[in-house]
Amino acid sequence: MKHGRWRFLLGALVPALVLHVVFVLSPYAQAFWLSLTDWTGVAGEARFVGADNYVRLGGDSLFLDAVRNNALLLIVVPLVTIAIGLFLASMLRTSSARIGQGYRIVFFFPQLLSLVVIAVLWGFVYNPNTGLLNSGLRAVGLGGLAHSWLAEPAFALVAVMAVLVWSSVGFYVVLFSAAIEGIPRELFEAALLDGAGKWATFSRVTLPLVRESVQVAFVYLGIAALDAFAVVQVMTVGPGGPDGATEVIGLSLYRTAFTYGKFGYASAMGVALFFATLTLAVLALRSGRRERLELA
Amino acid sequence: MNPDSQVRPYPSRRTVLKTAAVLSIPALGGCVTSGKEDTGGAKDSGAEKTTENPLGVKADAPLEVVVFKGGYGDEYAVKAEATYQQKYPSAKIDHKGLQKVGEAMQPRFVAGTPPDVVDNTGAGRLDIATLVSANQVTDLADLLDAPSLDQPGKKVRDTLLPGVVDDGTFAGKTVALNFTYTVWGVWYSKSLFADRGWTYPKTWDEMVALCAEIKKAGVAPWTYQGKYPEYINDPLLSMAAKAGGPDLVKAVDNLQPGAWKQDGLVQAATAFAELAGQGYLMSGSEALSHTEAQAAWCQKKAAFIPCGSWLEAEQKGVAPAGFDMVMGTVPARSSSDQLPVTAVQAASSESFLVPAKAKNAAGGQEYLRILFSKQSATAFAEANSTLPAVAGATDGLTLSSGLGSVRDAVTAAGSDTFTYRFRTWYAPLAKAVDDATGELVNKRISPADWSTRIQKAADAVAKDSSVTKFTR
């Protein structure tokens, strides 16, 4: 009997485990090893170089640009996305059901497009001469505000951030709407009877009760902000430019590996990014572990 | 069922993890770097070398050819394979036309089982300098010294255009032969210029004067593919090379201290900074992709655009009828230039190589001898309106205006062609140059800052012991 169970369990688990180990864990483990070597990506062997690659990261000005830009993305993108997401979701709660449903679908549209498509489309929008943005500004007489959005260092990263926010906000509207719908209606009614205005209802009732969703959103968006590779690679000048203004770690890694043929060094970047992402996830989940509100 | 047996009916989390760990060990062992190192390669157990068979090809050895199937297709490579088959009817030929050659070939190089010929071209191609330093490519000296297939009395080496052999030479060994020949210059519409009475300038002063006239006529004098700043680099570096001559180019490629502070480079940078400063670059160019900038140029919104000789083929269907694009050589900076104004930056591409561990390396080289024959090159030129690397391949053909101007430029240049090698030797330096030039033509740095910045990047590459160095 016992043996039969084992056999069944192994039969069920082993294929999945083997796939996971071969295609997920083993590349990770190899990246850790490769980050300590000078592997070129085409040679059959790699020489052990110790921590050299990690030391080099500290002096690589383009990589440091990338770290700075990812840090900025990490601060701005989750905050803005969540703020807009919460705002729209709580607006939808107070609007009529049919309109709310319609908007929810419209907000979700960008989620259906691949990031590459989004980046290409926004590349057209940002075109300085014929793009929608500048043409729109000129049409309403604000031609003075028109810029070469992706080619000016002051605006390029902001332009990338706007695309990231635009592409993800719809998903969080849906997520937060679902969380808000889970809040018992009586609580809102009670707040209304107590004379709470819209803002007080939001900050005292809605927000505390969707905390968990917001926290999860922070982790997801944080990870997306540490990546941002696809949008930058497709849309920006250079890519990663002008002059490193939109460089992100993923792009540095990609270029180092596939253009420069330095897989060892690129692996070191990957390992650094891995730890950054891990730390972020742990911190974000820990910080919110405080008292849980009981609804009952 | 005895309830006691329920205590440990299922494996605990710990035992599952332990089992997983044991299972994973063999998987982790299959690591990317576990490939065997050089056993000298499966060198050609070749046949005897004769005049008919100068490379000693074994008649029945199979041949595997991997070709980049991009803008030129792979029909030309298939034709050469047919010729090979005629010559060696018992050989089994395996042809692969791929778009992502690098991706497909990387694991095969690592595993030591590469094909016999690789056309290492296209986005994501393998870095040739990396392949060289990993000893993954065959020295093609035998091929170069073998007699040409259809030009009696000439060696393969002597049938190629100037610079082709050098382009494939790394540390004294020629390891790649490039099939197409690219020339860089400044393009304009012959019909537009005839209409407006403009003439293509020979010196930079004339260029600046003409730009003022063009701007007055309501056309932007220049545009460029700003999203990829390397495009505007080419005329800048060409001008520098003409001013400073081959020594300037050599100093740059050999990473000599102070190479980027040479007068020729600073002068050229100043010229392009002026172009930007005078407002002669079409506004918005800095953010346009190559397709957008080239389309604007075809719509006659700008008069000049820098590009390589592929431009005409790329603009097929975009350029209006009667646009008649032609390529001009980069104007001379001053009368004290070391090279004549007809000198052009020329380099070959579509890089064919024979992997060091190819099973049929002799067959691979024989295949290249067939591909680089005059007949095969002429057929290629006809089909693709592109200049092949074989000299005289376009003789007697009726050429389009763009390709004709390219051929004339090559003829006029004679032996005065030059090319910078640092782009292929030291990719990170190329990136630094592109970034700096992008900043320069957007007026964010001065020509002096430009040369200081690049010099710093060049010094960093020179100091970096992990980079394989080349000299010329």
Beta bridge partners of B327: B187
User: Which residues in chain A have Cβ-Cβ distances shorter than 8 Å to B24?
Assistant: 21, 25-26
Q: How confident is the model over B392-408, as a mean pLDDT?
A: 88
- Note the pLDDT tens digit of each residue in B124-148: 788 888 888 888 999 999 999 999 9
Encode A194-213: b = buried (16+ Cβ within 10 Å), e = exposed: eebeeeebbeebbeebbeeb
Residue A103 lies in a domain: yes
Mean pLDDT, residues A172-188: 90
- Is A192 strand, coil or helix? helix
| Domain interval for residue A149 | 52-287
Note whether B22 contacts A: Cβ–Cβ < 8 A: no
pLDDT (average), residues A255-279:
91
Q: Say yes or no: A178 contacts chain B, CB-CB below 8 A.
A: no
Give the residue-averaged pLDDT of B236-240: 96
d(CA B382, CA A196): 80
Q: Do B434 and A238 touch (CB under 8 A)?
A: yes
CB contact under 8 A, B286 and A46: no
Instruction: Give me the pLDDT at residue B40, please.
Output: 41
Predicted confidence at residue B44, as pLDDT, reads 47
Size of interface A-B (CB pairs under 8 A): 146
Instruction: Specify the pLDDT at position A296.
Output: 44
Q: How many domains does chain A have?
A: 1
CA distance B241 to B52: 43
How confident is residue B152, by pLDDT bands cut at 50, 70 and 90? Answer: confident
pLDDT score recorded for residue B151? 87
Higher pLDDT, A295 or B221: B221
Torsion of CA B335, B338, B344, B350, to 10 degrees: -160
Contacts of A52 in chain B (CB under 8 A): 466
pLDDT in the model for residue B113: 92
Q: What contacts B357, CB < 8 A, 6 or more positions away?
A: B38, B41, B42, B109, B112, B113, B114, B136
pLDDT at B345 exceeding the cut of 70: yes
Specify if A43 maps to a domain.
Answer: no
Closest chain A residue by Cα to residue B103: A258
- Does the residue A122 lie in any domain? yes
Determine, yes or no, domain membership for A69. yes
pLDDT-above-90 percentage for chain B: 62
Q: Do B288 and A128 touch (CB under 8 A)?
A: yes
Split at pLDDT 50, 70, 90, the class of B95 is very high
Provide the shortest C-alpha distance from residue B205 to chain A (in Å): 29
pLDDT band at residue B33 using 50, 70 and 90 as cut-offs: low
- Cβ contact A17:B23 at 8 Å: yes
Chain B, 97 to 136: residues with Cβ < 8 Å from chain A are 102, 106, 109-112, 124, 126-127, 129-131, 133-136
Q: Tell me, yes or no, whether A264 lies in a domain.
A: yes
What does the alpha-carbon distance between residue A20 and residue B347 come to, in Å, rounded to a whole number?
47
Looking at the complex, report in whole angstroms how far the Cα of residue B102 sits from the nearest Cα belonging to chain A. 9
Average pLDDT, chain B: 87
Confidence of residue B3 (pLDDT cuts 50, 70, 90): very low
| Confidence (pLDDT) at B316 | 84
Residue B162: pLDDT band with limits 50, 70, 90: confident
Per the prediction, chain A carries an average pLDDT of 89
- ipTM value for the complex: 0.85
**pLDDT number for residue A90:** 87
pLDDT in tens, A68-123: 999 999 999 999 999 999 999 988 887 777 787 888 888 888 888 999 999 999 99
Mutate to test the interface with B, among A26, A40, A60, A121 (most CBs of B within 10 A): A40
- Please tell me the total number of residues recorded for chain B in this structure: 472
**What is the share, in percent, of chain B residues with pLDDT greater than 70?**
90
Whether residue A64 is contained in a domain is answered as yes
Reported in sequence order, the residue ranges of B76-175 that DSSP labels E, i.e. its strands, are: 93-98, 117-119, 169-170, 173-174
Å between A85 CA and nearest CA of chain B: 31
What pLDDT is attached to residue B25? 47
Q: How confident is the model at residue B172 (pLDDT cuts 50, 70, 90)?
A: confident
Per-residue pLDDT reduced to its tens digit, A208-235: 999 889 988 998 999 899 889 999 999 9
- Which CATH number does B63-181+347-404 carry? 3.40.190.10
Place of tokens 């990957």: A270
Q: Tens digit of pLDDT for each residue in B367-376? A: 999 999 999 9
**Given an 8 Å threshold on Cβ–Cβ distance, is A5 in contact with B289?**
no
Given the candidates 3.40.50.1820, 3.40.190.10, 3.40.50.2300, 3.40.50.150, the CATH classification of the domain at B203-340+426-463 is 3.40.190.10
Find all residues with CB under 8 Å of B431, minimum gap 6, and list them: A62, A255
pLDDT of residue B424: 85
What's the pLDDT score for residue B24?
47
Quick check: B170 and B132 in contact, CB under 8 A?
A: yes
**Fold agreement (B63-181+347-404, B203-340+426-463):** yes
Whether the pLDDT of residue A26 is over 60: the answer is: yes
The CATH number for A78's domain is 1.10.3720.10
**Domain extents in chain B:** 63-181+347-404, 203-340+426-463
Amino acid at B72: Y
Indicate if the pLDDT at residue B405 is higher than 90.
yes
